[in-house]
Structure 1
């Protein structure tokens, strides 16, 4: 079964819109795990516009499944990750002002930098994953960095799938097969939803984990968090 890691950034966005502590991100993380989620993902950004660094510290105390912290490995982010030692650190090359992540790493161009960062994380017992586009050369470069896993950036698939173009899955299938051959674990995330997740799971081999936040929270507004998480778990079997 592919694990479901629930990204709770959008919960923090809603909380921050009014101040205070409603909704409570710690309680939502507890509830997500209670409803069956096998991981909690956060992506703190330097401006802390959704998840705050202190949220990460609070969540570390209560998450009982896998804790995944995503972000651009600037010094502040790395200091946080090395302090908390989550199950997994996912390295994402997002720009400071990006609304959301919109590209994967050029693992050839940034290979030496990624090697250095990944080496430090692994010395501290943290599993590492690199956010990448589904391109064979990029996958090969990722394998050379020493990373444990890749996270396939799935926005392009989700876009074309919504238009009825199922052929868009092919690069992901091919890259997952290549990554597995090279000894990399395979994660995926970005714009995956109840509408496309089962198809993606069926056609992407060796899929270990998906990280889903925006769509899952939107779906939960209509159907409830427990119901939506359980639907994902069924589709990921």
Structure 2
């Protein structure tokens, strides 16, 4: 069965906007785990815009001894900066089950493309070896229509993560057949060379089912932005009711 790994970056965005410790990233992860998710994902960046290195360390402690996996995403080429020690250094500390390498930069609001392995493959190969020596399974973020899917196996990674943003946008526009077919073909190509298949970006409750029905044998989906946004609505009424109950108890 496909594992759901919940990306808790957006909890950190909300916390950082106030400059305090609330909402708690650890507590959000704990709730997700107790609800049955199979993993927690974070994507720390050098600019510390959301998940910070201390969050990574704290979540590693939280996940220790649990069956759920820790997945750390990030750009392996981004140098250490200030409190950010670099992706490989964080992985060496946290020892996640999986490291997902993503070619993002500070100027991107979010990840919006996969690796070009004809350009970056030689630089990635030794970093992949280093991560695997730490005990990490390694995935590479790849576009569904990339000509380089098979090269992921050549440089030693274990999985691809299909960038599903184009599929999600096409689904929202009501014309997703071509984008979905591209994802299915990418998964087939990956499995043909012995790679596992993950998927992530802009997946939500509406588009996930059609995706998984056509893109077979997906090992893991990483979902954050939509899931946290949906949780605001699903949990809001209960939270308001709880506050009203507190007020009534004071005034009774």
TM-score relative to the length of structure 2: 0.87
Alignment pair present for 1:135 and 2:130: no
Find the counterpart in structure 2 of residue 21 from structure 1: 21
Q: After alignment, is 149-158 or 139-148 more displaced? A: 139-148
Q: CA RMSD, aligned part only?
A: 1.1
Aligned partners of 1:59, 1:169: CA distance in 2, in Å?
A: 33
Per-residue deviation at 1:196? 0.1
Alignment pair present for 1:94 and 2:104: yes
Find the counterpart in structure 1 of residue 42 from structure 2: 42
SS at match of 1:117: helix
Find the counterpart in structure 1 of residue 244 from structure 2: none
Alignment pair present for 1:185 and 2:196: yes
Find the counterpart in structure 2 of residue 198 from structure 1: 209
Aligned partners of 1:219, 1:136: CA distance in 2, in Å?
A: 31
Q: Which runs of 5+ in 2 are unaligned?
A: 80-85, 237-252
Per-residue deviation at 1:144? 1.1
Aligned partners of 2:24, 2:176: CA distance in 1, in Å?
A: 38
Aligned length: 225
SS at match of 2:110: coil
SS at match of 1:108: helix
Tell me if structure 2 keeps the 8 A contact 1:3–1:38: yes
Per-residue deviation at 1:126? 0.7
Per-residue deviation at 1:47? 1.1
For 1:66, which of 69, 75, 88 is the aligned residue? Answer: 69
Find the counterpart in structure 2 of residue 217 from structure 1: 228
Per-residue deviation at 1:136? 5.0
Alignment pair present for 1:150 and 2:153: no
Per-residue deviation at 1:98? 1.4
Tell me if structure 2 keeps the 8 A contact 1:91–1:129: yes
Aligned partners of 1:184, 1:112: CA distance in 2, in Å?
A: 19
Q: Which runs of 5+ in 1 are unaligned?
A: 226-237
Following TM superposition, where does structure 1 have runs of at least 4 consecutive aligned residues deviating by more than 6 angstroms?
A: none
Per-residue deviation at 1:166? 2.8
TM-score relative to the length of structure 1: 0.92
For 2:134, which of 119, 124, 128 is the aligned residue? Answer: 124
SS at match of 1:137: coil
Find the counterpart in structure 2 of residue 230 from structure 1: none
Aligned partners of 1:147, 1:118: CA distance in 2, in Å?
A: 6
Find the counterpart in structure 1 of residue 95 from structure 2: 85
Per-residue deviation at 1:88? 0.3
Q: After alignment, is 105-114 or 136-145 more displaced? A: 136-145
